[in-house]
Amino acid sequence: MPLQSWFSDAKLGIFVHYGIYAVDGVPESWSFYTGQVSHEQYMKQLEGFTAARYDPRESAALFARAGARYAVMTARHHDGVALWDTALGDLDVVRHTPAARDLVGPYADALREQGLKVGLYYSHSDWNHPDYASVLHPRPTHDDVNTSRWVAPADGVEDPAAWARYLAYRDGQVGELVDRYRPDLLWFDGEWERAEEQWGLDALAARILAGNPDTVLNARMLGHGDYATPEQGVPLQAPEGPWELCLTVNDSWGFQHGDTNHKSVRQLVRYFAETIGMGGNLLLDVGPREDGTITDEQAARLEGLGGWIAAHREAVYGTVAGLPAGHHYGPSTLSPDRRTLYLVCFDPPRDSVGVRGLRNRVRRVSVLGTGAPLTHRVVGGLAEVPGVTWIDAPAARDVDAYATVLAVELDGELDLYRGTGRD
Ligand code: GLC
């Protein structure tokens, strides 16, 4: 099934890592897996998880102001703690924490009120489920997959019946999410701990798509995934097909008191422009406190990015990947009719901006947002090798504080010269 077009047009999503790990501010699930904290200490956080100021409508409004068109919340991370009142398994915030209510439903409703698509993160793995550590990976690629007590049977003896029960539990939970909240996107994780054939993904995909055939699935559904998910670093070459970069605002997915290493708005604008310039989406992660509030530092980054996007929306939503590297020193995007090129300039151009290899005649250049027209001329070239299109630098008053975008209107669809010059 082709990927839903809303996804490629959306450009920005917000990732929300919300869970009991925010109580002590320890790494989500991983902190007991790695032994940073004891399992007992980790699970004690259930008692401190209140969601006392959880206000998904306020968060959804913030995400909309950030310019996001979807959000993805951790309905259940590797620690197995479900954020809704699941009928499967024995671990959710409704029965086991003072929050004592479903947190997923109000989140989905609030996003929809803001016109945002609803994404839910769900980990295939559950390090707390009694039936999970029951089989071995036949071809492990991660070091401790067959030795970790949370993943593999301690005595090395497999228990296929336990594994079958585990898959029924996982499929049942995903079925609940699909039927109750009708997510537009399911973001799976944890797939590396088993081989594709062990995960039973054909049945899971069939279950999801029977509920809603338009559900978008990330690549951690392996053969059933719709798009690639590079993590924490902008790829240097666009991955094949649709993709989404997930990136933390600071250095942590979930809330951690001591992590003040926030990316600046300027850096986030760069990550975003570089990502969409290569045809991807950015899934920018925030980690709410245990009470559900988003820190001022994270909210300010979202607002800042949103301000830039709002002023440059024409260069963002619905556009496609722009020029390959080498034509312009910065990212660029292209209008869906391929007739307007949006050149992103991170530093204020001092003299002129040169575009190389452009075969089109340029009709008009202006600064996106202020509308100021800019002059240009073509210098050099031969009949078959285009010269350089030099665009005169905008005046200081037309330069954006984060990144200036030049809209270059072409005489037809973008036509690039990609050769090696005249023989
Ligand atoms: C990794 C981590 C996980 C995090 C995810 C987000 O897979 O295991 O903790 O949720 O990245 O992409």
Residues 119 and 239 placed together within one structural domain of the fold: yes
Report yes or no on whether pTM surpasses 0.95: yes
At residue 2, the pLDDT reads: 58
Which single residue is written with the structure tokens 């290899």?
A: 357
Do 258 and 383 have their domain in common?
no
Assess whether 38 and 72 both reside in one domain. yes
Whether 415 maps to a domain, the answer reads no
Q: Are residues 175 and 257 in the same domain?
A: yes
Indicate whether 95 pLDDT > 90: yes
| Segment 45-67, tens digit of pLDDT | 999 999 999 999 999 999 999 99
**231 close to ligand 1 (CB < 6 Angstrom):** yes
Q: Give the residue-averaged pLDDT of 133-157.
A: 94
Q: What count of residues does the chain have?
A: 423
- Tell whether ligand 1 has an atom less than 6 A from the beta carbon of residue 92: no
Reply yes or no on whether the pLDDT at 1 is more than 70: no
Q: Looking at per-residue confidence, does 419 or 292 come out higher? A: 292
Whether the predicted pLDDT of 397 surpasses 80: yes
In a domain, 416, yes or no: no
Count the domains in the chain: 2
The per-residue pLDDT for range 21-38, each reduced to its tens digit, is 999 999 999 999 999 999
Pair 306, 194 in one domain: yes
Asked if residue 249 and residue 376 are part of one domain, the reply reads: no
Which range marks the domain in which residue 183 is found?
5-311
Same domain, 74 and 185: yes
Q: How far is the CA of 53 from the centre of ligand 1 (A)?
A: 25
Domain at 252, CATH number: 3.20.20.80
Q: Is residue 418 part of a domain?
A: no
- Residue 58 domain flag: yes
Q: Could you give the percent of the chain with pLDDT greater than 90?
A: 91
Question: Domain containing 351 — which CATH number?
Answer: 2.60.40.1180
Q: Which residues, 6 or more positions from 194, have their beta carbon under 8 angstroms from its beta carbon?
A: 124, 125, 135, 137
- Index of the ligand 1 atom closest to the CA of residue 246: 12
| Residue 253 CB less than 6 A away from ligand 1 | yes
Tokens of 136: 């071995």
How high is the pLDDT of residue 30?
Answer: 98
Q: What is the mean pLDDT of residues 268-292?
A: 97
28 lines ligand 1 (CB under 6 A): yes
> Domain check: are 329 and 352 in the same one?
yes
